[in-house]
Amino acid sequence: MNYFNEIESGIRTLFDTTSAGFRGDSSAGQNHIGTWLNVLQNSNDPALRPIAQELETLNRAISSNDVAAMSKSFFLLGNLTGKAALPLHSFAGLGDKMRELSQKLISAGGNLQVISQQQLSGTAPAQH
């Protein structure tokens, strides 16, 4: 199983779900978070605990449809993932994939921040 492809797919699903303002079913994104939480909470790696805690925060933000909080969580998850990747250097490329994942999380956070600002100002584009 390629966890990185699954995680990237999950990030895309989360972003699509959150940016649509949950006009659809938010459980799709929350299912991904639940899966990640199970994996991280069963790990003995202390570097993963803050990531698991932030995933719980993201899950609460999704439940309350708080786009600003979701944006902040994506940013924090990206930063935490980048920090967890710092000591990882190998020919297998695990550190590189984690750094790439970090960038995608931060990018999703930035995109959600724009959406949040548009919602606050009333200039958000109409959803179809």
Q: What is the pTM of this model?
A: 0.74
Residue from 22, 30, 18 nearest 116 by CA: 18
* CATH code reported for the domain at 3-120: 1.20.140
Nearest-10 crossing angle of helices 67-85, 94-121: 160
Give the angle 84-86-89 at the CA atoms, nearest 5°. Answer: 115
pLDDT in tens, the chain (128 residues): 455 566 667 666 666 665 555 455 566 677 778 888 888 888 887 878 898 899 999 889 888 878 889 889 999 999 998 888 777 776 666 778 878 888 888 988 888 888 788 878 877 655 54
- Which three-class secondary structure state does DSSP give residue 102? helix
Domain ranges within the chain, ordered by starting residue: 3-120
